[in-house]
Amino acid sequence: MSTKETSAADQLNATDATPAADPNTHVLDTPIRRGKQTIESVTLRKPTSGELRGTALSDLVNLDVAALQKVLPRITTPTLTEQDVANIDPADLVQLGGIFAGFLMPKAVRLKMESLTA
Tens digit of pLDDT per residue, the chain (118 long)? Answer: 444 444 444 443 444 445 558 999 999 999 999 999 999 999 999 999 999 999 999 999 999 999 999 999 999 999 999 999 999 999 999 999 999 999 998 887 777 777 887 6
- Domain assignment of residue 71, yes or no: yes
- The pLDDT value recorded for residue 10 is 43
Q: Does some domain include residue 87? A: yes
Task: Confirm whether 11 is domain-assigned.
Answer: no
Looking at the 3D structure of the chain, how many domains does it have?
1
CA–CA distance, 20 with 10 (Å, rounded to integer): 19
Please state the pTM of the whole predicted model.
0.76
Q: What's the gap between Cα 104 and its chain centre?
A: 13
Domain hosting 46: range is 21-117
Looking at residue 91, its pLDDT comes to 97
Domain presence at residue 40:
yes
Neighbours of 19 (CB within 10 A): 14
Q: Compute the distance between CA of residue 75 and CA of residue 17 in angstroms, rounded to an integer.
A: 21
Q: What is the pLDDT of residue 87?
A: 94
Would you say residue 8 lies in a domain? no
**Cα Dmax for the chain:** 56
What one-character DSSP code corresponds to residue 62? T
Does a structural domain hold residue 1?
no
